[in-house]
Amino acid sequence: MKIFLDTTDITAIAQLSETGLVDGITTNPSLVAKSGQNFEVLLREICTLIKGPVSAEVTAPDHATMLKEAFHLAKIAPNIVIKVPMTQEGLKTCKVLSDQNIMVNVTLCFSALQALLAAKAGATFISPFVGRLDDIGLDGLDLIADIREIYDNYPAFKTEILVASIRNPAHVLASAKLGADVVTIPPDIFSKMFKHPLTDIGLDIFEKDWEKTKQQILKA
Ligand code: E4P
């Protein structure tokens, strides 16, 4: 399973990408607003740090302007993925872009039927938002299971399921068990995935016992 970071925080991207475990980045207009930075400057910076897919969202509501924005953003770097909304205009744009081998991430997906249409439109990624479904009392992970089942029924679909709006490490675990292709997670959730209290306790014991041996693996 690929791990993307859902952030515009350059410091976090730089630091966490050093693990070698970050496969890509997703951004959205809200995250850009939160950063207070210029969108294109931000994208250029991210693309110097991350060679995997970097999602950049168009903001126009209509197909013609969306397409112009998409071509503009796609010029920034070869790893830019154009993020389009899960609307009729968005999927029309997705089809044109995917026919030209430009990667597309269809965002704001809340139903399996939407995911079916996005796959037909040639999306590289579909982004179902699990947390926002949980927020309204539904089970976002049911949507991941449904999309997985549908996509597996049609091997011609090449769209990857990119689980978005992840709120906790349990969402990541469940997504992996359901066979999601990608999760996009905020940096703090990525950091939490490394941790277990028994790892810390065990490491402490090993360090203390090693000191008792008075040995060093590397001699000074
Ligand atoms: C995905 O691409 C979105 O940027 C993101 O996961 C949305 O998450 P939120 O519901 O926490 O805003």
Contact 86, 58 (CB under 8 A): no
Residue 130's pLDDT is 98
Residue 219's pLDDT is 84
Classify residue 25 as left (phi > 0), alpha (psi -120 to 50) or beta: beta
Contact 207, 26 (CB under 8 A): no
| Whole-number Cα distances in Å, 136 to 71, 118, 129, 171, 173 | 35, 23, 12, 16, 21
Tens of pLDDT, residues 140-170: 999 999 999 999 999 999 999 999 999 999 9
In this structure, what token pair is assigned to residue 31?
Answer: 């995250």
Pocket perturbation via mutation, ligand 1, pick of 28, 135, 162 by most ligand atoms within 8 A of CB: 28
Instruction: Find, among 72, 74, 80, the residue nearest to 50 by Cα.
Output: 80
Contact 118, 98 (CB under 8 A): no
Cα angle: 8, vertex 72, 40; to 5 degrees:
30
- Whose structure tokens read 């490491």? 203
Distance 4 CA to ligand 1 centre (A): 12
Distance of CA 61 to the CA centre of its chain: 23
Tens of pLDDT, residues 20-35: 999 999 999 999 999 9
Contact 89, 66 (CB under 8 A): yes
In this structure, what token pair is assigned to residue 179?
Answer: 């066979």
Cα(115)–Cα(127) distance, rounded to whole angstroms? 8
Ligand 1 pocket member 7 (CB < 6 A)? no
Classify residue 41 as left (phi > 0), alpha (psi -120 to 50) or beta: alpha
Q: Can you give the pTM of this predicted structure?
A: 0.97
Ligand 1 pocket member 129 (CB < 6 A)? yes
Residue 3's pLDDT is 98
Contact 82, 73 (CB under 8 A): yes
In this structure, what token pair is assigned to residue 161?
Answer: 């399921």
Q: Which ligand 1 atom is the nearest neighbour of the CA of 83?
A: 2
Counting as low any pLDDT under 70, the low residues of the chain are none
Contact 134, 167 (CB under 8 A): yes
Instruction: Find, among 102, 25, 89, the residue nearest to 63 by Cα.
Output: 89
Classify residue 182 as left (phi > 0), alpha (psi -120 to 50) or beta: beta
Residue 175's pLDDT is 98
Distance 26 CA to ligand 1 centre (A): 8
